[in-house]
Amino acid sequence: MARTTAGGCAQLIALLVVLVVIGNVAVALGFPVFALLSVAAGAALFASRAAKVHREHHERLARARALVMEALDVVFDPALPERDRARILDALGRGRSPAPDRFVLASELPQEPRAYVTRARAACETVTGSRVNGMGLLDSLANEFVLPQQIWEIARLVRTQAELEAEQRQARRGVVTEELEAVLGPQQEALQRSIDSVAERVRAMEGYARKVEEADAALRARDALRNNDKYLALLAQTDDADGLAALRLQAASAADVLAASVKEAVEAGRTLTLE
């Protein structure tokens, strides 16, 4: 990537040199206007070429960072500025690992801890991609700040748990005496309580996502009711008075169902902020 950028800069310098030479020749031959036009055209070409090189450089950087992000399955601290995220991705792409306390490589986690991160992300994507969220009907604080923070905390916790589990396994190799068990037993209990707490966090996020899906379903029900006139006309033609009454009642209650579903989803999201 550095070689490509250097090549682009070299081409710009070569172009500038050629234009300066042309301008000097024009002045020497007594064509100052031509020289000015040459310099102006050269400046425009130089600026255009420089902008293109700059744009291509940033596009290459963005593609490289996206590949690193996907390959290593990076989870960033949501408080980390975008500039610092880019710097870390560039370093990871070169095999370095700066500021490990600000990111987690989910790709390096054991299967079960990584599954918690995957489930938390899926719940977040369900919420943020929902219609009710797009319409601004949900708690924006929960969706924009709390959910990313929950994912980060889950990723950070399961990484620590995985490290401690590895330590526990190492300590239990060989003979386990009463004295050793007296030390490891309470540690294992503390570790299990932390694991159970993470599992509960993930279930809470999934519960929120489920409520949001139900609110979206209520929206689809409201949309479907817009076709009620066709069905009312059909029932009127068949003289079905009971069916007409039931359909009208359903239409009247649709708004209440939607409001209740959205309220439940918002309340579920707010419970995340209180944890």
**Domain boundaries in the chain?**
1-69, 109-273
pLDDT at 74: 96
Q: Which residues contact 104 (CB under 8 A, 6 or more apart)?
A: 74, 75, 117, 152, 155, 156, 159
* Distance, CA of 242 to CA of 240 (rounded, Å): 6
pLDDT at 137: 87
pLDDT at 102: 96
Which residues in the chain show pLDDT less than 50? 1-3, 31, 274-275
Provide φ and ψ at 73, rounded to 5°: 55, 60
Of the candidates 214, 194, 198, 197, the one whose C-alpha atom is nearest the C-alpha of residue 120 is 198
pLDDT at 177: 92
3-state secondary structure of 75: strand
pTM, two decimal places: 0.73
